[in-house]
């Protein structure tokens, strides 16, 4: 498990191994020139990017909300920072590898010559467990705690692109990341806090004359209650004879000068209808795969 308090130290180790031409990662990248180039860019993103740690419940909500998206936009305004690394506790999505399917534990992002580069990372322990079944192990001296598995470049444009145009392999992961970016700034849904960094990490940064590292923790609000803020204003007494559940969805909310701009916010499940009316229920089974 990647703890948020240790993330700065792990990030520094990842940068060091990615920059070492003799490391296993770099020797493997030498087989594929494009992949090696992506690792160079990913290393720069790690070195300069903001660090985020998303709790499991929040990651699950981002996954569900991502499924409801029809378009996404990859402009600078849509990201919480120009470059960054977001760890998803418990993993999200599935990545096909030669050893089977593995959840993705982290996604980093940042500018690349052709657009926005997303790098998909898997926890080293998952790879070690797979190898252990065949009598081998991952060398922790040569392989970082998070292992880069894929790189995908997305187009950066002022206009949104249809979700269906995303590559099949990255679609679920990309929309989950985009959803997490948006949800973390909705105070009715998310709580953001700073991780307490390990004392040894803080001392190491101080000795190197580096600013104290920061890790933003994103979690689902503990007192979260789904509600429709416009419920009372829209419902007329006697108009409806039942109450029902409205499924969560995205809404374009006006903001900015003269409310001329739009930003997407997630409206969670809520109950609609007059107070006291019978609730219509429909049996539903949700299968979560994270």
Q: What is the pLDDT of residues 190-219, one digit of tens each?
A: 999 999 998 999 999 999 999 999 999 999
Q: pLDDT band at residue 47, thresholds of 50, 70 and 90? A: very high
Taking CB atoms within 8 Å and a gap of at least 24, the contacts of 98-103 are 99/127, 99/130, 99/131, 100/130, 102/126, 102/127, 102/130, 102/149, 103/290
CA angle 230, 233, 234 (to 5 degrees): 85
pLDDT score of 24 more than 80: no
Specify the pLDDT at position 43: 92
Specify the pLDDT at position 283: 41
When pLDDT is averaged across residues 1-20 and rounded to a whole number, the result is: 90
Specify the pLDDT at position 222: 61
CA angle 163, 101, 140 (to 5 degrees): 115
The model carries a pTM of: 0.79
User: Token pair for residue 90?
Assistant: 């418990």
Q: pLDDT band at residue 269, thresholds of 50, 70 and 90? A: low
First vs last Cα of the chain: how many Å apart? 14
d(CA 270, CA 10): 40
User: What residue spans of 213-284 are helical by DSSP H?
Assistant: 231-234
Q: 172, 88 in Cβ contact below 8 A?
A: no
150-181 residue pLDDT tens: 899 999 988 899 999 998 888 999 999 999 99
pLDDT score of 236 more than 70: no
35: which residues sit within 8 A by CB, 6+ positions away? Answer: 29, 151
Q: 181, 78 in Cβ contact below 8 A?
A: yes
pLDDT score of 11 more than 70: yes
**Residue predicted with more confidence, 274 or 289:** 274
Specify the pLDDT at position 115: 93
Specify the pLDDT at position 225: 39
64-116 residue pLDDT tens: 889 899 999 999 989 999 999 999 999 998 888 776 788 999 999 999 998 99
- What is the chain's mean pLDDT, rounded? 81
Specify the pLDDT at position 61: 85
What is the DSSP pairing of strand 215-220 with strand 50-54? Answer: parallel
């Amino acid at each position: 498990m990647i703890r948020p308090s240790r993330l700065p130290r792990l990030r520094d180790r990842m940068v060091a191994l990615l920059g070492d031409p003799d490391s296993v990662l770099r020797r493997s990248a030498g087989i594929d020139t494009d992949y090696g180039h992506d690792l160079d860019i990913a290393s720069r993103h790690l070195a300069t990017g903001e660090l985020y740690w998303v709790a499991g419940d929040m990651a699950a909500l981002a996954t569900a909300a991502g499924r409801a998206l029809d378009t996404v936009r990859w402009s600078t305004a849509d990201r919480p920072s120009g470059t960054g690394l977001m760890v998803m506790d418990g993993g999200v999505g599935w990545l096909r590898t030669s050893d089977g399917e593995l959840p993705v534990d982290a996604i980093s992002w940042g500018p690349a010559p052709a657009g926005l580069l997303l790098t998909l990372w898997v926890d080293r322990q998952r790879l070690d467990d797979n190898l252990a079944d065949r009598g081998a192990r991952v060398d922790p001296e040569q392989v970082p705690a998070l292992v880069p598995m894929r790189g995908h470049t997305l187009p950066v444009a002022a206009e949104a692109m249809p979700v269906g145009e995303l590559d099949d392999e990255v679609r679920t992961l990309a929309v989950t990341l985009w959803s997490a970016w948006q949800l973390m700034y909705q105070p009715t849904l998310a709580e953001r806090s700073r991780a307490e960094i390990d004392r040894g990490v803080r001392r190491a940064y101080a000795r190197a004359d580096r600013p104290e590292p920061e890790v933003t923790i994103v979690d689902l609000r503990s007192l979260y209650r789904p509600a429709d803020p416009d419920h009372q204003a829209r419902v007329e007494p006697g108009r409806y004879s039942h109450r029902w559940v409205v499924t969560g969805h995205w809404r374009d909310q006006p903001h900015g000068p003269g409310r001329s701009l739009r930003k997407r916010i997630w409206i969670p499940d809520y109950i609609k209808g007059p107070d006291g009316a019978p609730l219509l229920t429909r049996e539903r089974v949700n299968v979560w795969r994270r």
